[in-house]
């Protein structure tokens, strides 16, 4: 299977209004709302990169993965069926996602994925409502998603052997294993961590400059957004980033300076530290109170 990039993330959210101000005023993306109340967050010249639908509970609806064209999509569907994974073809869903064609399936870990090709470009210039200079997308795709799974080894086999992701590196932090996978030059577009799954742990978006990260951190603080991890620099992908809580509970990593790797020279390693510096977890309010008393 020849997946080229993470194309989009579709989310079901209880509070789409909160997402609208979070997406626009904190993340710095352009916001648009459809007639059916779906929030579209734009980061480049595609109509959206994050699609947020009103829902009764907060959830990852799907990660959308881009393939090179119709033949690649057909081949991917056949490979999924050969692996015993049922695929759903849904022209209405493709129109809704503003792509030419897509197939949806549930991975063995329970995560819903969509494979698509032919994304619509509407060429509206990206002008951030808060002055973010721009997001790093293009051939590197939107960013990355990190999924929690109860069965890491089984999930890893599926994403590598069936979906064709390539191993970037592995990490064990506090006894929890994480596997980092790539499908283009971005160090990882997908990571799998041991935990109660299926669940989206966080997604990452990358901006053009270190100042874009700093301004976003200020905006998050000013808007009362909970910072889950302070500014820091990751070891494996070199990303300088912070983590904030989204209105749906999972985190967003907001970063700059991610490593671009070349399969011709890259070798996977075992990373023993997640960050060179930073990425500290602020104490929870209750802990703060206890410490203060
Ligand atoms: Fe990350």
Residue 274 Cα to ligand 1 midpoint, Å, equals 10
Kindly report the three-state secondary structure assignment for every residue of the chain. CCEEEEEEEEEEECCHHHHHHHHHHHCCCEEEECCCCCEEEECCCCCCCEEEEECCCCEEEEEEEEECCHHHHHHHHHHHHHCCCCEEECHHHHHHHCEEEEEEEECCCCCEEEEEEEECCCCCCCCCCCCCCCECCHHHCCEEEEEEECCHHHHHHHHHHHCCCEEEEEEEECCEEEEEEECCCECCCEEEEECCCCEEEEEEEEECCHHHHHHHHHHHHHCCCCEEEEEEEECCCCCEEEEEECCCCCEEEEEECCCECCCCCCCCEEECCCEEEECCCCCCHHHHHHHHC
- Rounded to an integer, the average pLDDT of 41-63 is 98
pLDDT in tens, 162-197: 999 999 999 998 899 999 999 999 999 999 999 998
How many Å lie between the centroid of ligand 1 and the Cα of residue 261?
16
What pairs with residue 40 in β-bridges? Answer: 32, 51
76 C-alpha to ligand 1 centroid (Å): 26
CB 228 within 8 A of CB 281: yes
Going from the Cα of 64 to the center of ligand 1, the distance in angstroms, rounded, reads 17
Residue 270 has pLDDT above 60, yes or no: yes
Give the per-residue pLDDT at 259.
97
CA of 229 to the centre of ligand 1 (A): 11
Ligand 1 centroid distance, CA of 170 (Å): 13
pLDDT of residue 292: 47
Indicate the average pLDDT of the chain. Answer: 96
For the stretch 189-212, pLDDT in tens is 999 999 998 999 999 999 999 999
Domains in the chain, ordered, with CATH?
3-117 (3.10.180.10), 138-278 (3.10.180.10)
Residue 30: pLDDT over 70: yes
Q: Is the pLDDT of residue 293 over 90?
A: no
Predicted confidence band at 59 (pLDDT cuts at 50, 70, 90)? very high
Q: In the chain, what percentage of residues exceed pLDDT 70?
A: 97
């Amino acid at each position: 299977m020849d997946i080229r990039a993470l194309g989009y993330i579709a989310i079901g959210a209880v509070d789409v209004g909160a997402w609208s101000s979070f997406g626009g005023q904190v993340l710095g993306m352009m916001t648009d709302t459809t007639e059916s109340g779906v929030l579209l967050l734009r980061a480049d010249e595609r109509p959206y990169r994050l699609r947020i639908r009103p829902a009764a509970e907060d959830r990852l609806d799907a990660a959308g993965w881009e393939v090179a064209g119709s033949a690649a999509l057909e081949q991917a569907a056949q490979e999924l069926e050969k692996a015993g994974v049922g695929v759903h073809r849904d022209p209405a869903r493709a129109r809704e996602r503003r792509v030419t064609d897509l197939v949806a399936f549930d991975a063995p870990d329970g995560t819903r994925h969509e494979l698509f090709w032919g994304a619509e470009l509407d060429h509206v210039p990206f002008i951030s409502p808060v002055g973010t200079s721009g997001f790093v997308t293009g051939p590197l795709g939107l960013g990355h998603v990190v999924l929690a799974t109860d069965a890491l080894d089984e999930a890893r086999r599926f994403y590598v052997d069936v979906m064709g992701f390539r191993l970037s590196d592995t990490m064990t932090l506090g006894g929890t294993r994480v596997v980092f996978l790539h499908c283009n030059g971005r160090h990882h577009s997908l990571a799998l961590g041991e935990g109660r799954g299926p669940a989206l742990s966080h997604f990452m978006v990358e901006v053009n400059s270190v100042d874009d990260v700093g301004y976003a951190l200020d905006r998050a603080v000013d808007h009362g957004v909970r910072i889950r991890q302070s500014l820091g620099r990751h070891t494996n992908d070199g990303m300088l980033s912070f983590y904030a809580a989204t209105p749906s509970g999972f985190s967003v990593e907001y970063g700059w300076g991610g490593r671009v790797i070349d399969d011709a020279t890259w070798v996977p390693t075992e990373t023993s530290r997640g960050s060179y510096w930073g990425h500290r977890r602020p104490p929870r309010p209750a802990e703060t109170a206890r410490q203060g008393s």
